[in-house]
Structure 1
C-alpha cells in the first residue's frame, strides 16, 4: 500500500518536472520573450507607482484633514521603508514634512532616525513635495507650504 503510494508520488513529481522543463524550454526559445518580459515589468512598475501614491490630496486648509493626511503619509512611509522601498517611502515622508505644522522639529527627528542616504533623499524631494501640496491649498494662493528656510 505504502509502496504504491510512493511510486505514484514519484511519478507525479517526474511528470511535474517534465512539464516545467518543457515549458521553460518553450519560453526560452521564444524570440519575443525578453521584449514581453520587459513590457510586463514596465506595466508592473507603473501599477505599483499608481497604487503607492496617496491619491487625491485633501483640503489642507482644514486642520483636521491636514493632520489626518500627515499621519497617513507617515504610516505609509514607515511601511514602505520597512519593506526596503526607500524611494516611495521618501516621497510619502516628504509629503508629511510639507504638511507638518512644525517641519523643523520633524526634520530633526528624522535626521536622527533615518539612515543618512535616506535623509538626504528626503531633503532633495522636499521642494517638489511643497509645490505639490501648495497646489492643494487654494487659500494660500499658490504659496509653498514648506518655505525655503524650513528645508535647511
Structure 2
C-alpha cells in the first residue's frame, strides 16, 4: 500500500514538473524579440506552399500534346483524390480536366453518370472559376474552348 502511494506522489510530482517546464518554455519562447516576425514568416511560407501545391500549373494551351497529357493527369489525380475521400481536391482536378477538354459536354455527361450528385454539383459550381483562370492564363487563347460557359442539366435519375 505504501508503494502505491509513493508511486502516485512521484507521478503527480513529475506531471507538475512537466507542466511547469511547459509554462516556462512557452513564456521564454514568446518573450523572444523575433518570435512574432518568425511566426509571421512561417505562416506566410506555409500559405505560399499550400497555394502552390493546391493549384495545378496549366500547360501551354497551344500545344495539343501538352493539353492531352494535362487532361489525362488531371482526370487521374481527380479520381485518386475522390477515392481517398478528399472531395475538394478531387473536384479541383476534375474541373481542370473539364476546362481543357475539347468536348466538355460529353465529359460532363459521363461525370454526371459516374459521380455522386453532390460531387457533380460541386464540380459544376467550380467550372466558372476554373474557366476564368484558364482564360487569364491563356491570354485569350481559350476563347475557342466551350468550357467557359458550360450549361449542364443537373437532373439526376
Shorter-chain-normalised TM-score: which range?
A: 0.5 to 0.7
Using the TM superposition, give the Cα deviation of residue 22 of structure 1 relative to its aligned residue in structure 2, in angstroms. Answer: 10
Using the TM superposition, give the Cα deviation of residue 43 of structure 1 relative to its aligned residue in structure 2, in angstroms. Answer: 7.8
Q: Which residue of 2 aligns with 1:62?
A: 63
Summarize the Cα distance change of 1:102–1:108 in structure 2 as closer, same or farther, 3 Å threshold. same
Summarize the Cα distance change of 1:70–1:87 in structure 2 as closer, same or farther, 3 Å threshold. same
Using the TM superposition, give the Cα deviation of residue 108 of structure 1 relative to its aligned residue in structure 2, in angstroms. Answer: 0.6
Q: Which residue of 2 aligns with 1:151?
A: 151
Distance 2:144 2:126 in 1: 14
Within 5 Å, give how 1:1-152 maps onto structure 2: 47-55=49-57, 57-138=58-139, 140=141, 143=143, 145=145, 146-148=147-149, 150-152=150-152
Using the TM superposition, give the Cα deviation of residue 90 of structure 1 relative to its aligned residue in structure 2, in angstroms. Answer: 0.6
Count of residues in correspondence between the two structures: 129
Distance 2:122 2:144 in 1: 20
Using the TM superposition, give the Cα deviation of residue 147 of structure 1 relative to its aligned residue in structure 2, in angstroms. Answer: 3.7
When Rg is computed on C-alpha atoms for both structures, the one with the higher figure is 2
Over aligned residues, Cα RMSD in angstroms? Answer: 3.4
Using the TM superposition, give the Cα deviation of residue 144 of structure 1 relative to its aligned residue in structure 2, in angstroms. Answer: 7.1
- Which runs of structure 1 show a deviation greater than 6 angstroms over 4 or more consecutive aligned residues? 20-24, 39-46
